[in-house]
Amino acid sequence: QRTRKINGMASRDPHPPVGPFTTNEEDQREAAKLKARLDQNRERERGEDSTTADDFGSVPRVQIDEGANKYVLIQARRRAGDAENFVISQRGASYHRNAAEPLIYQLESAGYDDIRVKGGGRIDRNDESKEIKIYGFSYSFGQPDHGISRSVVLSDARFQDYTVTTSNEGY
């Protein structure tokens, strides 16, 4: 296995990123803005209690594109309900925030609150071999508990016959 430097850190990555994207200062600023907006929403929502269960739409808990793509684990809550975890990976997402933003919008539109990006990494979905590999981390959001991501993926009937593995190695 080869070792390479990413932003001054050594990485042994069996699945190097597709394209030149890791992160940059602009992405870090935009991710910080996204986190700050979610924090502000949580503060504002603490004082509100007007939404009923009937107001909520449905958002799929698993949205993963085929191939090796950036992913995020997001936790959201329905008012007075338990937290739910969501996994999204998107082909073409240059940065983890690009994977997170569409799902955050879906969750907000469906009436979820207390939305938190728990971290990011990569998901490599291979439909031919029926394998899904969850690994790595996000410079902007940190490393999620890949075990939670694995459980969320396996809870989706489409992926119950897949072999789903996790690793904290790689980027």
Q: Which residues carry out catalysis?
A: 96
Q: Tokens 């983890």 identify what position? A: 96
Residues 6+ positions from 17 with CB-CB distance below 8 Å: 122, 171
Please count the other Cβ atoms lying within 10 Å of the Cβ belonging to residue 125. 23
Q: Can you tell me the distance from the alpha carbon of 97 to that of 14, in angstroms, rounded to the nearest whole number?
A: 23
Which residue type sits at 164?
A: V
Query: Secondary structure of the chain: what % helix, strand, coil (to 5)?
Result: 30, 30, 40
For residue 123, what are its two tokens?
A: 């998901």
